[in-house]
């Protein structure tokens, strides 16, 4: 099998590159000149960028080989996500890889502002020693307000507890359980959080709330504002004005609307502001983790697996091994059902049971459709674009919930036709086949399986076994199932090697044989 080709347009870090090169042919640049990227796009299975390049619709279109694009960082604003999704291109990023770095930098800015560290350093270097002029403020018992309790926001809360601060947060997308788990007071109203924050820090993507002058004026007197997330989340002119008025005590700013900021930027001339050149995620440790997380996600996506850092699919928040096991179960379920069901005359019905939960449904719907359509359409189809491809095919998937305390179960059938059902479960992480064509079975899913559907008559099993032996193929296990005596039955054989097409043809010619299938889904 040919190794995938991957283009890395900016420095990724030696560990990430080393990991990529174990599995792919990699062309890596410290900084590929942006004008050179368009002519190279069509020659690679994956392209990894950082901040210097933009992957627009025009760049993404017309490259059938391109399967994955990645932004080696937390954001993905420089990737046209809508275009990538329509084209079936997986988009990978590295969320949380630099969360600790960004949180620590936030506190670096905060301490610099509260204790006048930058101004004090300059004062000493200029021969001064006026300690009274640089009287600082403590973090102890200060009220910290966090906008966005995601990966970075949670790390900020963790550090704040070490300073014994009072920590509150606003994040309308999280359940109350998340706030409780991180010992953070929940504020459902942004304005109320601002009014109760001696120190306000924001950690959201660009789609987060915009702190304009009206909101900033709701801060308590002498508050401190921090932005180490995204430029534009805080109105720079309004913040500068409040600093000049003395309404806000100080600010720590790592990101700007325009980077680098113009020399006449209002924040650069406002009092009590500490600035840094977008250093939030810039640590050696974060760079290593960003590179490794990006590399792992790209290689998993190229292998048709579901990486946890896939952006344009609603990936559930599951431990890695649980996500991988469920992803495998979905692929097996969808592709087996697709082969068993030649004509689709009814909507598909996906039933979820056991300890699965409703939060998985958006991802599972797309993943099942992708697996079902994998061998049925000529165009590229994967979890990224499965909903759009299914709509073009006129295919409908319904979902039924039957959650309980049992092992996770998934079944797929044509609505109203129980004889078409295929069901699988996860038993202690092992994929189990529970039902095939409506016939109950209970066996671990093998790497290779030969399945026959036949009339339940004497001699069928022996004839199948003899014919398989004639092709010098060893049978590992054999499982039989049937609805009733003398009606339709099935046989599942696990094989040590792939069955050739000639064997399948000869099996189909046997008396009482209705259908023969070969499955090799890993």
Same structural domain for residues 304 and 355? Answer: no
pLDDT for res 522: 66
d(CA 67, CA 64): 8
Cβ(84)–Cβ(69) below 8 Å: yes
Report H helices in 14-131.
14-23, 37-40, 57-60, 81-86, 99-114, 117-125
Same structural domain for residues 256 and 208? Answer: yes
Q: Which is catalytic among the residues 259, 285, 379, 498?
A: 259
Q: Longest C-alpha distance within the chain, in Å?
A: 102
Count: domains in the chain: 4
State which of 252, 275, 298 marks the end of a domain: 275
State which of 423, 442, 461 marks the end of a domain: 442
Same structural domain for residues 509 and 437? Answer: no
d(CA 29, CA 509): 58
Q: What is the dihedral of CA 509, 513, 514, 517, to 10 degrees?
A: -80
Q: Residue 396 domain-assigned? A: yes
Same structural domain for residues 18 and 155? Answer: no
Distance linking the first and last C-alpha atoms of the chain: 15
10-24, 159-173, 481-495, range with the lowest pLDDT: 481-495
Same structural domain for residues 142 and 271? Answer: yes
Instruction: Note the pLDDT tens digit of each residue in 44-101.
Output: 999 999 888 999 999 999 999 999 999 998 778 899 999 999 999 999 999 888 899 9
Tokens of residue 314, six digits: 């609603």
DSSP 3-state of 92: strand
Average pLDDT for 451-463: 91
Q: Residue 333 domain-assigned? A: yes
Cβ(327)–Cβ(305) below 8 Å: yes
Q: Binning pLDDT at 50, 70 and 90, where does residue 482 land? A: confident
When the pLDDT of each residue in the chain is averaged and rounded to a whole number, the result is 93
Q: Binning pLDDT at 50, 70 and 90, where does residue 345 land? A: confident
Q: Residue 281 domain-assigned? A: no
Q: Residue 280 domain-assigned? A: no
Which positions ≥6 away from 116 have C-beta within 8 Å?
134, 135, 136
Phi, psi of 424 (to 5 degrees): -135, 165
Q: Residue 426 domain-assigned? A: yes
Same structural domain for residues 156 and 104? Answer: yes
d(CA 270, CA 237): 10
Same structural domain for residues 361 and 328? Answer: yes
CATH code of 487's domain: 3.30.70.260
Same structural domain for residues 88 and 113? Answer: no
Q: Residue 305 domain-assigned? A: yes
Tokens of residue 5, six digits: 């080709």
CATH code of 184's domain: 3.40.50.720
200-204, 248-252, 403-407, range with the lowest pLDDT: 403-407
Same structural domain for residues 123 and 241? Answer: yes
State which of 265, 296, 312 marks the end of a domain: 312
DSSP 3-state of 308: coil
pLDDT for res 76: 85
Same structural domain for residues 60 and 148? Answer: no
Pairing of strands 430-436, 417-427: antiparallel
The yes-or-no answer on residue 230 being catalytic is yes
Name, of 178-182, 421-425, 446-450, the range with top average pLDDT.
421-425
Average pLDDT for 184-205: 97
Average pLDDT for 282-290: 90
- Angle, CA 417 vertex, CA 413 and CA 419 arms, to 5°: 80
Q: Residue 126 domain-assigned? A: yes
Please give, one letter per residue, the 3-state secondary structure of 119-166: HHHHHHHCCCCCHHHHCCCCCCCCEEEEECCCHHHHHHHHHHHHCCCE
Same structural domain for residues 255 and 329? Answer: no
Half-sphere exposure of residue 72: CA atoms within 13 angstroms, side-chain side: 28
The yes-or-no answer on residue 379 being catalytic is no
The yes-or-no answer on residue 249 being catalytic is no
Same structural domain for residues 494 and 408? Answer: no
Q: Which is catalytic among the residues 105, 182, 249, 278?
A: 278
CATH code of 385's domain: 3.30.1330.90
Report H helices in 303-435.
320-340, 361-373, 386-392
Cβ(93)–Cβ(309) below 8 Å: yes
Q: Which is catalytic among the residues 230, 249, 328, 331?
A: 230
pLDDT for res 317: 79
Cis peptide before 74 (omega within 30 of 0): no
Q: Which domain holds residue 27?
A: 5-96+286-312
Residue environment code for 70-90, b if the CB has 16+ CB neighbours within 10 A, otherwise e:
bbbbbbbeebbeebbbbbbbb
Question: With 80 as the cut, is the pLDDT of residue 1 above it?
Answer: no
């Amino acid at each position: 099998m040919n190794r995938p080709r991957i283009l890395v347009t900016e420095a990724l870090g030696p560990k990430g590159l080393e990991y990529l090169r174990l599995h792919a042919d990699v062309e890596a640049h410290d900084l590929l000149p942006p004008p050179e990227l368009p002519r190279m796009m069509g020659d690679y299975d994956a392209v990894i960028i950082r901040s210097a390049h933009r992957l627009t619709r025009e760049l993404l279109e017309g490259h059938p080989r391109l399967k994955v694009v990645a932004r080696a960082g937390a954001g993905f604003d420089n990737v046209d996500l809508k275009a990538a999704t329509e084209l079936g291109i997986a988009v990978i990023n590295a969320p949380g890889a630099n969360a600790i770095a960004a949180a620590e930098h936030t506190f670096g800015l905060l301490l610099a502002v509260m204790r006048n560290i930058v101004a004090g350093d300059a004062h000493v270097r200029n021969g001064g020693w006026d300690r009274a002029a640089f009287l600082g403020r403590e973090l102890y018992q200060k009220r910290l307000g966090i906008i966005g309790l995601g990966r970075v926001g949670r790390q900020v809360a963790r550090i704040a507890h070490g300073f014994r601060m009072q920590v509150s947060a606003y994040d309308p997308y999280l359940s109350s359980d998340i706030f409780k788990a991180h010992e953070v007071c929940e504020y459902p109203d942004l304005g109320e959080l601002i009014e109760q924050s001696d120190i306000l820090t924001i950690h959201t993507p660009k789609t987060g709330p915009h702190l304009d002058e009206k909101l900033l004026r709701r801060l308590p007197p002498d508050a401190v504002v921090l932005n180490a997330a995204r430029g534009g989340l805080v109105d720079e002119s309004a913040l500068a004005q409040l600093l000049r008025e003395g309404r806000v005590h100080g600010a720590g700013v790592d990101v700007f609307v325009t980077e680098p900021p113009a020399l006449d930027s209002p924040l650069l001339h406002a009092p009590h502001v500490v600035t840094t050149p977008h250093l939030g995620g810039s640590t050696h440790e974060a760079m290593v983790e960003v590179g490794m997380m990006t590399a792992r996600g790209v290689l998993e996506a190229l292998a048709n697996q579901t990486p946890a850092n896939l952006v344009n699919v609603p990936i559930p928040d599951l431990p890695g091994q649980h996500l991988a096991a469920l992803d495998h179960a979905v692929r097996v379920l969808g592709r087996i059902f697709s082969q068993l069901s030649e004509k689709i005359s009814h909507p598909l019905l996906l039933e979820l049971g056991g300890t699965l939960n409703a939060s998985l449904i958006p991802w599972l719907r797309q993943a099942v459709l992708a697996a079902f359509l994998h061998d049925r359409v000529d165009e590229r189809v994967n979890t990224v674009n499965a909903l759009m491809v299914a709509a073009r095919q006129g295919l409908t998937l319904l979902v039924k919930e039957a959650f309980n305390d049992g092992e996770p179960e998934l079944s797929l059938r044509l609505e109203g036709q129980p004889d078409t059902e295929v069901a699988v479960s996860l038993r202690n992480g092992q994929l189990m086949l529970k039902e095939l064509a409506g016939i109950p079975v209970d066996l671990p899913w093998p790497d290779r399986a030969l399945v026959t559907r036949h009339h339940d008559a004497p001699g069928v099993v022996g004839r199948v076994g003899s014919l398989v032996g004639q092709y010098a193929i060893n049978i590992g296990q054999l499982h039989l199932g049937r609805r009733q005596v003398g009606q339709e039955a099935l046989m599942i054989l696990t094989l040590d090697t792939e069955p050739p097409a000639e064997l399948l043809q000869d099996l189909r010619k046997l008396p009482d044989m209705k259908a023969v299938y070969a499955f090799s889904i890993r």
